[in-house]
Amino acid sequence: MTPMHMHTTLLISLSLFLIIPLSISSTTTISPEGICNSTPFPSFCKSLLPNNNSATVYDYCRFSIHQSLATTRNFLSLIDGYLKLKNILPQATVRALEDCQFLIGLNLDFFSSTIQTIDSTSTLQSSKAEDMLTLLSATLTNQQTCSDGLQSTSLQNALFVPFKNGNMLYSVSLAFFRHGWVHNTRKGRWLREQMKITQDRNIYEAVRGRKLLQTGGGNVKVSQMVTVSQDGGGNFATIGDAVAAAPNNTAAAGGYYLIYVVAGVYEEYISIAKNKHYLMVVGDGINRTIITGNRSVIDGWTTFNSATFVVVGQGFVAMNLTIRNTAGAAKHQAVALRSGADFSTFYNCSFEGYQDTLYTHSFRQFYRDCDIYGTVDFIFGNAAVVLQNCNLYPRLPMQGQFNAITAQGRTDINQNTGTSIQNCSIRAAPDLASSSGTTKTYLGRPWKEYSRTVYIQSFMDNLIDPAGWMAWSGDFALNTSYYAEYANRGPGASTANRVTWPGYNVISATDAANFTVSSFVSGDSWLPAIGVPYTAGLI
């Protein structure tokens, strides 16, 4: 089938969804018009739903998610068809399509998992509801990432309509789920019950006479430990080989597969695949165990695939190492770490780059005692992420550039995503501190329409521009974004001359508590099993 035929098939398939019958449950029903008015796209929603029957919100949600799954299959067929023409397409287009193939494949998994969970029940524990909300939020993020990558390619116009319709369909599904399954008592606080993981083995493993982890005495279950050493003294000579040897699809209760990486410089591109669950990579310390690469957009890579280190597998942990992208400021977007892994944790790590250093792409993430270096948008993405007790180091950018610490990518008001920066320190990196230029440094700017970033109880040195925040383009997202500051300190923390956008807020302790480790990323349910230190609430 040619790509054009598949394009037509996709649009036909969308119309066929209109005649699929809804099952009616015995609980309260609502009209299609009533339920659609509670979504971001009421007209589109009404065009999808049969207009002659009322149903429960659970029925509407199941209906729309089944549609989303079918649409995703069609997306993947469409992308696969274009990739059959890779020999005649520009390399940049092929790489963008390959990103889409990967991301849409993930969405198939996410919608399938959601359907398996909700098709047989209208009641979910709040922890399970949070998991499904996170999956559905990630489908929108993956779709947007795919669309962003295709924007500058020859396929942009051909794919515009199906992708626009897909985005709206996914958004409607997310809205229905929020209305139906997410517990009303949460009131915006992302809480879940504690996950019970037996902790029966201490991770304090002696290697060459030293202790690997010393995080305050927590017990961590380890199923297997291997060593990577370039001198041939370990189990593997490369990190990639150690990752490949890890078991697939392990459960949390099975314990971590621990990869200890001896000090050295490892010129490798590492990818923790979606089936590599609960891996832990531990180095000998920042600037001792170094993983480095230099891919960049200028050299033909997509931003998404420019990363030196990529994590997709759930439950990943990294400790005591440095991850670099050395492409430099002149190469523009060049990612050091990209994480799209749920419950991913980074402790005592350093991430070094310039533009787009740390890509917190999706799902729930936690960073503690880490160093992050960069220039433009150097912490970006659409995860639900807390950075706690970290050092943020804006660097000297290219002449005429500014620094923006964050560029958060939330595209839908119902996504449970955002960037929370708590008790961190923002100081100029040595090259910026010693420069005589006039580089402006901002706390962030709204990459997407519902961008959400908060700074809580952090130190801000005098490099922060008094306005605090920078517009992306004109008045884009100034009304719909959510930027907030609470109890920050230092010469750059004054809010007296901050922007006056409707989306900017100086918040109370009650509001700030919504963005803490316990509330925003459900940290109490998974961080104790890792053994890293963390503060659950406000300090």
Q: pLDDT value at position 94?
A: 96
The dihedral through the CA atoms of 496, 500, 501, 506 has a sign that is positive
From 301, 219, 302, 310, select the one nearest 256 (Cα to Cα).
219
Sorted by where each starts, the structural domains of the chain and their CATH numbers stand as 42-181 (1.20.140.40), 259-530 (2.160.20.10)
* Residue 377 appears among annotated catalytic residues: yes
- Beta carbons within 10 angstroms of residue 399's beta carbon: 8
In DSSP terms, which residues pair with 489 in a beta bridge? Answer: 459
Q: Please name the residues in contact with 205: beta carbons below 8 A apart, sequence gap of 6 or more.
A: 211, 212, 222, 225, 258, 260
Q: pLDDT value at position 191?
A: 29
DSSP string, 487-502: S-BSTT---TT----T
Q: What is the pLDDT of residues 405-460, one digit of tens each?
A: 999 999 999 999 999 999 999 999 999 999 987 899 999 999 999 999 999 999 99
* pTM attached to this predicted model: 0.91
Q: pLDDT value at position 184?
A: 54
Mean per-residue pLDDT over the chain, rounded? 89
Map residue 150 onto helix, strand or coil: helix
Q: Please name the residues in contact with 209: beta carbons below 8 A apart, sequence gap of 6 or more.
A: none
Q: How confident is the model at residue 53 (pLDDT cuts 50, 70, 90)?
A: confident
Q: How confident is the model at residue 26 (pLDDT cuts 50, 70, 90)?
A: very low
pLDDT at 461 over 50: yes
Q: Please name the residues in contact with 473: beta carbons below 8 A apart, sequence gap of 6 or more.
A: none
Catalytic residue among 377, 412, 465, 524, which? Answer: 377
Residue 21 buriedness (CB in 10 A; 0-12 / 13-18 / 19+)? exposed
**How far, in Å, are 42, 140, 291 from residue 366 at the CA level?**
35, 21, 20
Least confident of 28-32, 65-69, 130-134, 342-346: 28-32
Q: How confident is the model at residue 154 (pLDDT cuts 50, 70, 90)?
A: confident
pLDDT at 219 over 80: no
- For residues 78 and 3, the answer to whether their CB atoms sit within 8 Å is yes
Query: Average of pLDDT values for 79-105?
Result: 96
